[in-house]
Chain A
Amino acid sequence: DQQVKQNSPSLSVQEGRISILNCDYTNSMFDYFLWYKKYPAEGPTFLISISSIKDKNEDGRFTVFLNKSAKHLSLHIVPSQPGDSAVYFCAASAFFPVRAQKLVFGQGTRLTINP
Chain B
Amino acid sequence: EAGVTQFPSHSVIEKGQTVTLRCDPISGHDNLYWYRRVMGKEIKFLLHFVKESKQDESGMPNNRFLAERTGGTYSTLKVQPAELEDSGVYFCASSQAIYEQYFGPGTRLTVT
Contact = CB atoms under 8 A, between A and B. Distances in A.
Given A43-B104, A107-B42, A99 B56 contact: no
Contact of A106 (B33, B35, B42, B98): B42
B44 to A, nearest CB: 7
Contact of B45 (A34, A44, A104): A104
Contact size range, B: 20 to 34
B106 interface: yes
A43 B42 contact: no
Contacts of A46: 100-103
A4 B98 CA distance: 20
Interface string B31-56: 10101000001111100100000011
Interface in A27-52: 32, 34, 36, 41-46, 49
A95 to B, nearest CB: 10
A34 B43 CA distance: 13
A32 B43 CA distance: 17
B100 A101 contact: no
Nearest to A107: B42
Contacts of A104: 45
Given A89-B43, A107-B41, A101 B31 contact: yes
Contacts of A102: 33, 45, 48, 56, 58-59
B91 interface: yes
Given A41-B106, A101-B56, A102-B45, 6 more contacts: A34-B99, A44-B103, A49-B99, A93-B99, A102-B33, A102-B58
Interface of A: 2, 4, 32, 34, 36, 41-46, 49, 89, 91, 93, 99-108
Interface of B: 4, 31, 33, 35, 41-45, 48, 55-56, 58-59, 91, 93, 95, 98-106
